[in-house]
Amino acid sequence: MERQKRVSQRRPEGCGLARRGFLKGMLSAGGMAAAPWLVPASALGRDGAVAPSERIVLGGIGIGRRGSHDLRWVIGEPDVQFVASCDVWRERREMVKKMVDDKYGNRDCVVYRDMREFLEKRTDIDALLITTGDRWHAAASVMAMRAGKDVYSEKPSSMTVAEGQAVVETARRYGRVYQTGTQRLSEANFTVCNELLRLGRLGRVHTVRAHIAGGNAVMNRGWLPGEALPAADELDWDAWLGPCPWRPYNKNYVQGGWRNQYDFHTSCIGEWGAHTFAQCQVAIGMGGSSAVSYEYVENASGDGMVATFSNGVKMVLQQKGWHGSCGVRYEGDEGWVACADGYSRPEASSLALLADYSKVVQDYVARTGRAQNHMRNFLDCVRSRQQPIANPEVMHRSMSTVHAANIAMWLGRSMRYDPAKEAFVGDPEADRLRSRAMRGPWAV
**pLDDT tens for residues 281-335?**
999 999 999 999 999 999 999 999 999 999 999 999 999 999 999 999 999 999 9
Q: Determine the length of the chain.
A: 444
Query: Rounded distance, CA 69 to CA 358, Å?
Result: 27
- Go through the domains of the chain in sequence order and give each one's CATH number: 6-28+49-183 (3.40.50.720), 184-217+265-432 (3.30.360.10)
- Which of 164, 152, 187, 100 is closest to 382 using CA atoms? 152
Confidence band for 182, pLDDT divided at 50, 70 and 90: very high
Q: Is the peptide bond before 156 cis (omega within 30 degrees of 0)?
A: yes
- Which of 412, 413, 408 is closest to 433 using CA atoms? 408
User: In this predicted structure, what is the pLDDT of residue 52?
Assistant: 84
Query: Rounded distance, CA 264 to CA 216, Å?
Result: 14
User: In this predicted structure, what is the pLDDT of residue 46?
Assistant: 54
In angstroms, what is the C-alpha Rg of the chain? 23
Instruction: Specify the DSSP element, H or E, that contains 316.
Output: strand 314-318
Q: Residue 37, class by beta-carbon neighbours within 10 Å (0-12 exposed, 13-18 middle, 19+ buried)?
A: exposed
Query: Rounded distance, CA 407 to CA 431, Å?
Result: 9
Query: Rounded distance, CA 367 to CA 18, Å?
Result: 41
Confidence band for 48, pLDDT divided at 50, 70 and 90: low
Instruction: Please give the C-alpha separations between residue 302 and each of 135, 326, 342, 436, in angstroms, as whole numbers.
Output: 22, 16, 25, 22
Q: Is 126 left (phi over 0), alpha (psi -120 to 50) or beta?
A: alpha
Query: E strands within 91-238?
Result: 110-112, 127-130, 150-153, 178-180, 205-211
Per-residue pLDDT at 36 exceeds 70:
no
Given the DSSP bridges, would you call strands 178-180 and 150-153 parallel, antiparallel or unpaired? parallel
CB-CB neighbours of 333 under 10 Å: 9
CA pseudo-torsion sign 374, 93, 238, 123: negative
Rounded to an integer, what is the distance from CA 128 to the centroid of its chain? 11
Q: Which residues pair with 82 in a beta bridge?
A: 58
Query: E strands within 212-311?
Result: 293-295, 306-308
Q: Which residues pair with 415 in a beta bridge?
A: 294
CA pseudo-torsion sign 302, 303, 305, 311: positive
Query: Rounded distance, CA 344 to CA 405, Å?
Result: 31
The tens digit of pLDDT for each residue in 87-135 reads 999 999 999 999 999 999 999 999 999 999 999 999 999 999 999 999 9
User: In this predicted structure, what is the pLDDT of residue 348?
Assistant: 98
User: In this predicted structure, what is the pLDDT of residue 27?
Assistant: 36
User: In this predicted structure, what is the pLDDT of residue 50?
Assistant: 81
DSSP 8-state secondary structure symbol assigned to residue 243: T
- Which of 72, 165, 84, 95 is closest to 126 using CA atoms? 84
Average pLDDT estimate for 356-365: 98
Per-residue pLDDT at 30 exceeds 80:
no
Phi and psi torsions of 114, nearest 5° = -100, 120
User: In this predicted structure, what is the pLDDT of residue 20?
Assistant: 35
With b meaning 16 or more CB within 10 Å and e meaning fewer, what string describes 202-226? beebeebbbbbbebebbbeeeebee
Percent of the chain with pLDDT over 70: 89
User: How many helices and strands, by DSSP H and E, does the chain display?
Assistant: 15, 15
Confidence band for 51, pLDDT divided at 50, 70 and 90: confident
- Which of 85, 118, 122 is closest to 100 using CA atoms? 85
- Which of 109, 42, 113 is closest to 78 using CA atoms? 42
- Residue 248 makes CB contacts below 8 A (sequence gap 6+) with 223, 224, 225, 226, 227
User: In this predicted structure, what is the pLDDT of residue 375?
Assistant: 97
Lowest-confidence range among 24-28, 122-126, 158-162, 344-348? 24-28
User: In this predicted structure, what is the pLDDT of residue 53?
Assistant: 84
* 8 A C-beta contact, residue 291 and residue 394: no
User: In this predicted structure, what is the pLDDT of residue 45?
Assistant: 54
Query: Rounded distance, CA 430 to CA 331, Å?
Result: 31
